[in-house]
Amino acid sequence: MNEHYLKLKSSYLFSEIARRLTAFQAAHPGAKIIRLGIGDVTLPLAPAIIRALHEAVDEMARPETFRGYGPEPGYEFLTEQIAAHDYGTRGVRVSPDEIFVSDGGKSDSANIQEIFAPDCVVAVTDPVYPVYVDSNVMAGRGGVPDASGRYAGLVYLPCTAENDFQPALPDRPVDLIYLCYPNNPTGAVMTKAALKRWVDYARRQGAVLLYDAAYEAYIREPGIPHSIFEVEGAREVAVEFRSFSKTAGFTGTRCAFTVVPQELFGVAASGERVSLHALWLRRQSTKFNGVPYIVQKAAAAVYTEEGARQVRGQVDYYLDNARIIREGLEAIGLRVYGGKNAPYLWVKTPGRLDSWAFFDKLLQEAHVVGTPGAGFGPSGEGYLRLTAFGRRDETEEAVERIKTRLAL
């Protein structure tokens, strides 16, 4: 077996949440629990998307419009829309053949490390979306975790209130850097000037930035970059991941894409420069057979006038939830970060409570479930993550309960 799998920490976070919930429910059978910890959307697919799905299904029923295997990187009808709308309208040059349509930002951000050397030094922010860490541990880049849960082989970049959740540049040479903005779990965003420091660093060091923009649609303040390619020079040093999951409710429908620019090169042991676009194309064509035609048709509907309006309305709905949570918690003196250009709220635990103690308090007193920040990395200790993806009525009720029942 691959011994590196033995070094993975067990998924303690969600199993421990489930254990505490079960115990609470057994002790309080009548309690109505509201989950503000979930990272999954609750609104159904928008009508324009549903219509596109139905039409595509009907096409599959007729011999003249039936589709079998499609092009592995995605159909042009979708990649052209992505290039024009996600990038062109923001003045960013990305060509359709640099876009790889996939079944998820999770798989792409987990798989991308395969095209890099096994001994690459990897930097991640702390706290972090666990997929970046675990996929590198599986590949042998993590080494063994210490008592605090940090892997000796990885470089951690702490993000806390003290540094405004902005990671400092690594203090030793690294080859790959995962950045995610708007951030899961902290809800922080990065300004163009801050992102430029990372692009400049990567260019100086010969490093590659793996930029996860899964929550790009939640950015509403002008001036905050939606894509790393808005920064000059990024095309030579960055890969960008995007997803329809939280933008258009595709968590169960599955569609995402990754941009690998033609100017992005790695260096072989021989010193030869190798196109990372070519390597990723090779990887995907060997191990992936493309996203279903009907799903790509559904994704393309996101770019129609009607579809764009509808999915923007859904993101507005979640952003309103975020505002309701933030204002409610701030009203009782809690310190809340994020939730402005992001669906995540990162709440400082009151007093000297640790993440789990605050989780318990919220559960016991308000019957509301969050996610302990410590589960996202050692620097998440002292925080709790709430999400804006719930139903409006439940979100409002949860906030009301927190305001009236939490003894602070």
User: Binder to ligand PLP among 73, 74, 105, 380 (CB under 6 A)?
Assistant: 105
Torsion (CA) 204, 210, 215, 218 in degrees, nearest 10: 10
**Is residue 294 at the binding interface for ligand PLP, with CB under 6 A as the rule?**
no
Is residue 212 within the footprint of ligand PLP (CB under 6 A)? Answer: yes
* Shortest Cβ 249–ligand PLP spacing (Å): 11
C-alpha–C-alpha distance, residues 295 and 171, integer Å:
43
- To ligand PLP, the closest distance from the beta carbon of 45 in angstroms equals 14
CB–CB of 41/389 below 8 Å?
yes
Sole binder of ligand PLP in the list 45, 133, 137, 214 (CB under 6 A):
214
Judged by CB under 6 A, the stretch of 102-110, 119-127, 328-336, 397-405 that binds ligand PLP is 102-110
- What residues contact residue 144 under an 8 Å CB cut-off, 6+ apart? 7, 151, 152
* 339 near ligand PLP (CB under 6 A): no
In sequence order, which residues have a C-beta less than 8 Å from that of residue 327 and are 6 or more positions away? none
Total binding residues toward ligand PLP, as defined by CB under 6 A: 14
Closest C-alpha to 229, from 218, 245, 246, 216:
216
Q: Which is nearer to ligand PLP, 160 or 387 (CB)?
A: 387
| Shortest-Cβ-distance residue relative to ligand PLP | 104
Q: Is 317 exposed, middle or buried (0-12, 13-18, 19+ CB in 10 A)?
A: middle
Take residue 230 and report the two structure tokens written for it: 């808005």
Question: From CA 36, how far away is CA 20, in angstroms rounded?
Answer: 15
Report, in Å, the least distance between residue 270 CB and ligand PLP: 34
Does residue 245 interact with ligand PLP by CB under 6 A?
Answer: yes
Of 104, 290, 343, 373, the one binding ligand PLP (CB under 6 A) is 104
256: contact with ligand PLP by CB under 6 A: yes
Q: Is 182 in the site for ligand PLP (CB under 6 A)?
A: no
Cα torsion angle, 189, 181, 230, 210, sign: positive
Residue 247 or 334: which CB sits closer to ligand PLP? 247
Does 251 bind ligand PLP (CB under 6 A)? Our answer is: yes
CB 114 within 8 A of CB 92: no
258 touches 113 (CB < 8 A) = no
257 binds ligand PLP (CB under 6 A): no
Q: Which residues bind ligand PLP (CB under 6 A)?
A: 39, 104-106, 109, 129, 180, 184, 212, 214, 243, 245, 251, 256
